[in-house]
Amino acid sequence: MSFLQLTGLEKHYGPVAALGGVDLDVAAGSRTAIVGPSGSGKTTLLRIIAGFDAPDAGTVTLDGARLADGSTAVPAYLRGIGVVAQDGALFPHLTVADNIGFGLAGRDPTRQARIGELTAMVGLDQSMLKRKPDELSGGQQQRVALARALARKPKLMLLDEPFSALDTGLRATTRKAVADLLAAEGVTTILVTHDQAEALSFADQVAVMRDGLLSQVGSPRDLYLRPKNAMIAEFLGEAIILAADVSGGYADCAFGRIGVDDAGRQGKARIMLRPEQISLAVCPAHSRGAEAALADVVEIDFGGAACTVSLRLPGVPMERLSLRQPSTELPEIGSTMRIVIRGKAHVFVD
């Protein structure tokens, strides 16, 4: 049984449909990431789950309790849901200790012990408790916000772009620390993010949102390797999309004859390869004209450890193919290379 169940959620702002009927099941203790372009409805969905907005139609059920049913909704403060916003939303006039303990009863004899426990839990030093938020780094502020959200032991944690203001290195370490903490506490979590790599690494389940609907929901691996369509494929990472004739588990395309992941598909289709499935090999002169796909190196963009090699397939009317290659294995501009495919191409459903 789902811990969180969203059924037929709709929300309109005048003539604009922010949500057009969203269904989503979230298992207890799991981490779900919701990704999609700006304006796709991600924040609206999160606000309805939190109780900040009510849906026009549809239901929100958490741990068997109905939180929203159309325009009737349980107030946010009664839902037992923690929220961490993009900027942390800490109270600037309060100390770290008072921010963390904001939701705890002031006369509770265990309050100070709980604040100390939460401080240690999010990896902050006890010496920081007397500081104000402006004396902390961005990553430290987000840890305080997380501790405050965990203080009342929420059933569900909602993370709204919580790492986007952090620099790249700090973002990765903070994300890993937060994921480990939430997993250890067994807190069911929903993350809204624009960062596809962040969603794929953080979540057990990824939901891609577009135009107020969920286009595809599944494990990170399934969505990355087996997206339903080109939009999802390109949104989740670099993708090479080709027209092909598919038959008997193989596709005839610009790269020659390659295996596909749908043995039952027949006829014309579009297929996808991820760039990491493609590598270059030296092409001996005697192999030219063989069945293997050949490509001419037309440009190299040196980038240190990873460089971009631009290729053109002779006789194929397509845009240049760009591949990342290690700097130790760069071909010469003007040379002809053999294209080597690893694994199978994915055939789009639609």
Answer yes or no: are the C-beta atoms of 220 and 189 closer than 8 Å: no
Q: Where are the domains of the chain?
A: 4-230, 238-347
Q: Which helix (H) or strand (E) holds 116?
A: helix 111-121
Q: What is the tens place of the pLDDT at every residue in 181-205?
A: 888 888 899 999 888 888 999 999 9
Answer yes or no: are the C-beta atoms of 307 and 336 closer than 8 Å: no
HSE, CB side, 13 Å, CA atoms: give it for residue 316: 20
**Residue 285, pLDDT score:** 54
Contacts of 109 (CB under 8 A, 6+ apart): none
HSE, CB side, 13 Å, CA atoms: give it for residue 103: 20
- Look at residues 340, 223, 347, 202 and name the one whose alpha carbon lies nearest to residue 276: 340
Phi, psi angles (nearest 5°) of residue 328: -80, -10
Q: What is the tens place of the pLDDT at every residue in 304-319?
A: 888 899 988 876 666 6
Find which of 171-180, 217-226, 281-290 is predicted with most confidence, using mean pLDDT.
217-226
> What is the spatial distance between Cα 239 and Cα 230, in angstroms, rounded to a whole number?
8
More confident residue, 42 or 194: 42
**Residue 292, pLDDT score:** 61
Rounded to two decimals, what is the model's pTM?
0.84
CA 92 to chain centre: 31
Helix axes of 138-150 and 168-185: crossing angle, nearest 10 degrees: 20
**Residue 273, pLDDT score:** 95
Answer yes or no: are the C-beta atoms of 92 and 132 closer than 8 Å: yes
Mean pLDDT of 67-87: 87
> What is the spatial distance between Cα 99 and Cα 166, in angstroms, rounded to a whole number?
20
- Please state which architecture CATH assigns to domain 4-230: 3-Layer(aba) Sandwich (3.40)
> What is the spatial distance between Cα 190 and Cα 183, in angstroms, rounded to a whole number?
12
DSSP state, 345? B
**Residue 288, pLDDT score:** 47
Answer yes or no: are the C-beta atoms of 310 and 320 closer than 8 Å: yes
Mean pLDDT of 111-139: 83
CATH number of 238-347: 2.40.50.140
Q: Does residue 62 carry a pLDDT above 50? A: yes
CA 272 to chain centre: 20
**Residue 96, pLDDT score:** 86
DSSP string covering 23-46: EEEE-TT-EEEEE--TTSSHHHHH
> What is the spatial distance between Cα 22 and Cα 246, in angstroms, rounded to a whole number?
34
